[in-house]
Amino acid sequence: GEDVEQSLFLSVREGDSSVINCTYTDSSSTYLYWYKQEPGAGLQLLTYIFSNMDMKQDQRLTVLLNKKDKHLSLRIADTQTGDSAIYFCAETPSGSGGGADGLTFGKGTHLIIQP
């Protein structure tokens, strides 16, 4: 079955880089996603990576994918107080042809910013 694992908390100082890690078990996942959820709000799609890519960069965000180890990471450069949120890693279950089975989410990592 599918399982997505994340650390529950990450604390960083403002201005430093944050690296949020995720491991997944479904090796046939086509897309892997990072979502951000601020308190009391819905989920905001931050970025995604196709499984045949190793890296994707989008402004302050860098996604690294190690398909062999089934490890995904999200690096946020120059972390700001507005980055404080829960970050969910998500994958598409295998055999679903994409979204037909929805997304499988990790438990989420709470990013805490220290001044």
Partner 1 sequence: DTEVTQTPKHLVMGMTNKKSLKCEQHMGHRAMYWYKQKAKKPPELMFVYSYEKLSINESVPSRFSPECPNSSLLNLHLHALQPEDSALYLCASSQDVLYNEQFFGPGTRLTVL
Closest CA to 65 of 44, 100, 91, 87: 91
**What CA–CA distance (Å, rounded) separates 45 from 36?**
6
The residue with tokens 């994340």 is 6
79 binds partner 1 (CB under 8 A): no
Binding to partner 1 (CB under 8 A) within 1-40 occurs at 30-31, 33, 35, 40
Query: Which lies closer to partner 1 via its Cβ, residue 13 or residue 107?
Result: 107
**What CA–CA distance (Å, rounded) separates 13 from 23?**
24
Binding region for partner 1 (CB under 8 A) out of 13-21, 60-68, 75-83, 104-112: 104-112
Which residues contact partner 1 by CB under 8 A? 30-31, 33, 35, 40-45, 48, 88, 92, 96-103, 105-108
